[in-house]
Structure 1
């Protein structure tokens, strides 16, 4: 008799096959979530904590510290990628990256044991965090190799969802300790304590511990990763580098359009890379926000950004918005929205207020000994400023990323995607390093008004260039 395809045995086999298919990508998604939530919890409190425990910490120094973190991340992304390739294993580099991050967490907890110049110790922690976070891109390649073509899109959708969820949960976790102001209560007197700035690092330790356990006992290399490769294919030599360069030069692509899209990619990164480093000093000096107030405000804004970004993504996934809106029009819209944001939040003389005077006790307000522009700088209403920043971060930034990524992949066409996508990523990495240095230096020397003007002009130039290339971009719409 023919077998019953709905028999319990076949159902169990189907469930077993489904679990086997999804076990690896699900573990990778959970690891990505743990890595990102750790980063999100620490990011908001870095400037308030640094300026609290080291009064010599300036916004310019914080900019260099942030740039050092990004530089370490970019450098060790390549280091871990090469290691994973040459060892045919992602598991070991992932484990090492988590252990390195755990060391950074321990150093962060011990920062108040340092008697002076604590900002330098924190800079070292940021560098170590950047090194450990360099393993995160490996999870994307792992998911690609661990999934079949028919479920890969779903796996990457889960990864994207995990990233968005971590962006929202990180601030919520940070805000939950708003009622525990510095110096908090001691665990090991006199320097190890729990308060609004250090509580997230203990969660980061727990997240790292869970990630290490998952990597040790549940994360396994895929057959593609552990497959034996020819030794010569792993050897990095001048000959192989020269061959790759020649292949890169000989690609049949529109180099002019590629240059335009890469330049637009760098310009579009300007807002994130500058605002991420100056938002803390801006809130404390221009709006006289204390550390707890700042974290509550920034956390609420970050959660709102997450909801907008989720809604925007859902429009593309559920409503097929991508079929009705062209990518070049979407990018133009996002740039115009960015320019409008800078224009609306500019402190016009008749409708703006002066900065708050410096308070030595709370160390908030504009300190003329640190910023020469305190007497001339004006500020807009804090609610208006934050609402515009939320709209830009939740709508304009995702629009920019989605449209440029799509157009760039189409411009490349049948060319070598791996090489050209590496160039695209490199351009973004350069801005991750240069942007914080530029943003903090401009803010410290000239103030927020001039930074808004210069950034607005740069975005305007980028928009004009985009419209100049409009008809040549039409085939890749």
Structure 2
């Protein structure tokens, strides 16, 4: 039977070994490789192509090694553009969404924000799973991107019509909008598997830098949109009845809708599926056969290393999600500023973090750093940034200021006395407000978060995506990338619920320390797998 070339993981079949083949062997093989050839398997090329006497045609993967063709930079750039536009939609509303909901539904509490974030992560996990299985079985990418954009457009409609709902039910329309958006963003799972398919291993970190650079640019663009919208009035002028208004809170959703339509057009007409010769041996399979094939591939991976990757990704994502979720509540509840002022501060801080992220990504894209820096060292550096950020968020002596208690307008001897701190901490809502609690000096905290958060996000994403794709090796990565997203979303779902509840019950200080502890655990565990990653030259 003719030998069939199939891509395999970095691990030697059936042994769990993490040995890598030396480059530049030409058509020859080492002594250890000859032994494997006698068993019907020869590790080959930098992507660990193996030749095997396959008895089941359905177990074939790509016959042509990824490193035998140049990196498809045009396709990766289009993926980066899609990533940018898609992420921009969410970031455009990330800053203004919560203040807007508090304006149209004053009875909503901070824990609801945590529940929304948790639900959206569950929706993202479901969407990622469905789109990953679809891409794995059909060997197509475009349909997932198109369906995702259609779902997002429907979500925009709920946000646009939110004031048609009764005030106490508007929170549910708000939740539904972000749920649909999260499911739609699950379609980006195909981008994570598209990049390894279309890039050589030596270009992998640089290719992922482009994708994450687009992501970081979106983080800047979203708050910038909100900063521009600050010139609009807070109440706005009704356009249709009393429910459709153009103000600082509602204009971003219209921008998001336009971005959705542009992205849909790009996915339909500019995005290109891989060429037929790049899909050689990857026939479309029925769902049952496809899952069986995926299971066979998964069994050959280093299970301990994959499990540690899942755990480390969860720690990193928890560090990101805790700040991302509670930052709005922290500023609005403790800074003693109006909703519009809080929105301005959040926009400036997030823009600063985005600029820092862009600078970091630019270093990866336009300098040799992406090729010379080990991803296994970059990832713990990112975790360290999260750890330091949360430690400095705790109100240590010398860098703190008191949280003023909220008071109200009152009448004294027939004279109306205006409130001194109308936006202070509400002692009737948070028990910890009345304990003389302090917070880190406000503006110092915003600067620290902008710098460290801005560096940690892109470095952790670029480094981890590079590590994980190399650990998986040359298999079709759709299923395993989907599994990673599910595990990741569980952490992203748990972090908002735990952090907002901790904020409500214990106050910000204990919450910051708890997240710092999780980041510290991730750093310690990373030290345990460093030797194995060094053997893989990662």
TM-score, normalised by the number of residues in structure 2: 0.74
Match runs of 1:161-172 below 5 Å: 161-172=213-224
Aligned to 1:211: 263
Q: Secondary structure at the match of 1:373?
A: helix
Conserved? CA contact 1:40–1:167, under 8 Å = yes
- Asked if the contact 1:442/1:451 (under 8 Å) is kept, the reply is yes
Distance apart, 1:193 and its partner CA: 0.2
Task: Name the SS for the 2:434 alignment partner.
Answer: coil
Find the counterpart in structure 2 of residue 135 from structure 1. 187
In the other structure, the counterpart of 1:270 is 318
Partner of 1:435: 495
Q: Is the partner of 1:183 in helix, strand or coil?
A: coil
In structure 1, the residue matched to 2:165 is 114
Q: Which residue of 2 aligns with 1:8?
A: none
Aligned residue for 1:375, secondary structure, equals helix
Deviation at 1:226, TM superposition (A): 12
Give the number of the structure with larger relative contact order, counting CA–CA contacts within 8 Å between residues 6 or more apart. Answer: 2
Q: Number of residue pairs matched?
A: 453
Bigger proportion of residues as helix: 1
Between stretches 142-151 and 322-331, larger displacement belongs to: 142-151
Pair 1:175-2:227 in alignment: yes
Cα offset, 1:267, TM superposition: 1.1
Q: TM-score normalised to the size of structure 1? A: 0.82
1:392 deviation in Å?
1.9
SS at match of 1:134: helix
Q: Residues 348 and 121 of structure 1: is their aligned pair in 2 closer, same or farther, counting only changes over 3 Å?
A: same
Residue 447 (structure 1) aligned with residue 447 (structure 2): no
Q: Which residue of 1 aligns with 2:486?
A: 426
Instruction: Kindly indicate whether residue 395 of structure 2 is the aligned counterpart of residue 335 of structure 1.
Output: no
The 3-state SS of whatever aligns with 1:370 is coil
Q: Is the 8 A contact 1:349 1:378 kept in 2?
A: no
Shift of 1:390: 1.3
Pick from 191, 194, 203 the counterpart of residue 243 of structure 2: 191
Q: 1:59 maps to what in 2?
A: 110
Q: Are 1:320 and 2:371 an aligned pair?
A: no
Which residue is 1:17 aligned to? Answer: none
Residue of structure 2 equivalent to 1:374? 433
Secondary structure at 1:179 match in 2: coil
CA contact (8 A) 1:97 1:131 kept: yes
- 8 A contact 2:230–2:344 mirrored in 1: yes
Partner of 1:3: none
TM-aligned CA distance change 1:150 to 1:469, over 3 Å: closer
Structure 1's unaligned 5+ residue stretches are: 1-20
- What do the CA deviations read for 1:318-356 (whole angstroms, capped 9, x no partner)? 442356654444344333333332222211356522223
Farther off after superposition, 421-430 or 186-195: 421-430
Would you say 1:69 and 2:69 are equivalent positions? no
Q: SS state of the match for residue 504, structure 2?
A: helix
2:449 to 382, 389, 402: 389
Aligned partner of 1:245 in structure 2 is 295
Q: Which whole-Å CA distance do the structure 1 matches of 2:500 and 2:166 have between them?
A: 26
Judged with a 3 Å threshold, the aligned counterparts in structure 2 of structure 1 residues 165 and 332 are, in CA distance, closer, same or farther, namely closer
Q: What do you get for the CA RMSD once the two structures are aligned?
A: 3.5
C-alpha distance in 1 between matches for 2:387 and 2:129? 34
Structure 2 spans left out of the alignment, 5+ residues: 1-71, 410-420
